[in-house]
Structure 1
Amino acid sequence: MLGFLLKRAALALAVAVTVSIISFLLLRASGDIAVAVAGEGATEADIEAIRIQFGFDRPLIVQYFEWAGNALTGDLGQSVYFRVPVVELIGERMPVTMGLGALALVFAVALSIPLGVAAALRPNSIIDRLSLWIAVLGQAMPSFWFALLLMLVMGVWWRWLPISGAGGFDHYIMPAIALGYYATPAIMRLTRAGMIEVLESDYIRTAHAKGLGTGKVLFKHALRNAVIPVVSLAAVQFGFMLSGSIVIESIFALPGVGHLAWISLQRSDFTVVQGIVLMLSVIYILMALVADLFNAWLDPRIRVA
Structure 2
Amino acid sequence: MGEAIEEASMLAFTLRRLVVALSVAFTVSVVAFALLHLSGDLATTIAGPEASPAQVAEVRAQYGLDRPLTAQYLDWLWSALHLDFGQSFYFRSSVVSLIAERMPVTLELGAISLFISLVIAVPLGVLAAVFRGTIIDRLALTFCVLGQAIPTFCLGLGLIIIFAVNLRWLPVSGNASWQNFVLPSIALGWYAVPAVMRLSRNGMLEVLSADYIRTARAKGLSPAKVVLKHALRNAIIPVVALAAVQFGFMLGGSIVVEAVFSMHGIGHLAWEAIARNDFPVVQAVVLILAAIYITLTFLADVVNALLDPRMRVA
Could you state the TM-score of these two structures normalised by the residue count of structure 2?
0.88
Amino acid at match of 2:91: F
Aligned pairs for 1:197-212 (under 5 A) are 197-210=206-219
Match of 1:68 among 74, 77, 93: 77
Partner of residue 93, structure 2: 84
CA 1:55/1:114 → structure 2, altered by over 3 Å: closer, same or farther? Answer: same
Partner of residue 266, structure 1: 275
Amino acid at match of 2:260: I
Partner of residue 159, structure 1: 168
Amino acid at match of 2:38: A
User: Deviation per CA, 1:151-185, whole angstroms, max 9, x where unpaired?
Assistant: 12111222221111111111101100011112211
1:249 aligns with 2:251: no
Residue 12 of structure 1 contacts residue 286 of structure 1 at CA under 8 Å; is this kept in 2? yes
Partner of residue 117, structure 1: 126
Amino acid at match of 1:276: V
User: Deviation per CA, 1:171-216, whole angstroms, max 9, x where unpaired?
Assistant: 1011000111122112112221222222223343244345555444
3-state SS in 1 of match to 2:270: helix
Amino acid at match of 1:134: F
Q: Is there any run of 5+ residues in structure 2 with no aligned partner, and where?
A: 1-6
Distance in 1, Cα, partners of 2:33 & 2:214: 54
1:230 aligns with 2:230: no
Distance in 2, Cα, partners of 1:227 & 1:30: 45
User: Deviation per CA, 1:231-251, whole angstroms, max 9, x where unpaired?
Assistant: 343222222211121121111
Distance in 2, Cα, partners of 1:212 & 1:14: 50
CA-atom RMSD, angstroms?
A: 2.3
Amino acid at match of 1:242: L
CA 1:221/1:54 → structure 2, altered by over 3 Å: closer, same or farther? Answer: farther
Partner of residue 188, structure 1: 197
Amino acid at match of 2:41: D
1:131 aligns with 2:140: yes
Partner of residue 107, structure 1: 116
3-state SS in 1 of match to 2:87: coil
3-state SS in 1 of match to 2:90: coil
C-alpha displacement at 1:304, in angstroms?
7.9
Distance in 2, Cα, partners of 1:96 & 1:20: 25
Partner of residue 300, structure 2: 291
CA 1:6/1:239 → structure 2, altered by over 3 Å: closer, same or farther? Answer: same
CA 1:25/1:122 → structure 2, altered by over 3 Å: closer, same or farther? Answer: same
Over the matched positions of the two proteins, sequence identity in percent amounts to 55
C-alpha displacement at 1:79, in angstroms?
1.0
Distance in 2, Cα, partners of 1:38 & 1:217: 69
Runs of 4+ in 1 over 6 A off after TM superposition: none
Q: Is there any run of 5+ residues in structure 1 with no aligned partner, and where?
A: none
Partner of residue 284, structure 2: 275
CA 1:137/1:202 → structure 2, altered by over 3 Å: closer, same or farther? Answer: same
1:170 aligns with 2:169: no
Distance in 2, Cα, partners of 1:162 & 1:90: 25
Distance in 2, Cα, partners of 1:14 & 1:225: 33
Amino acid at match of 2:179: D
3-state SS in 1 of match to 2:252: helix
CA 1:93/1:36 → structure 2, altered by over 3 Å: closer, same or farther? Answer: same
Amino acid at match of 2:131: R
Distance in 1, Cα, partners of 2:308 & 2:227: 17
Amino acid at match of 2:128: A
Distance in 1, Cα, partners of 2:134 & 2:60: 65
Residue 79 of structure 1 contacts residue 271 of structure 1 at CA under 8 Å; is this kept in 2? yes
CA 1:46/1:124 → structure 2, altered by over 3 Å: closer, same or farther? Answer: farther
Match of 1:97 among 103, 106, 109: 106
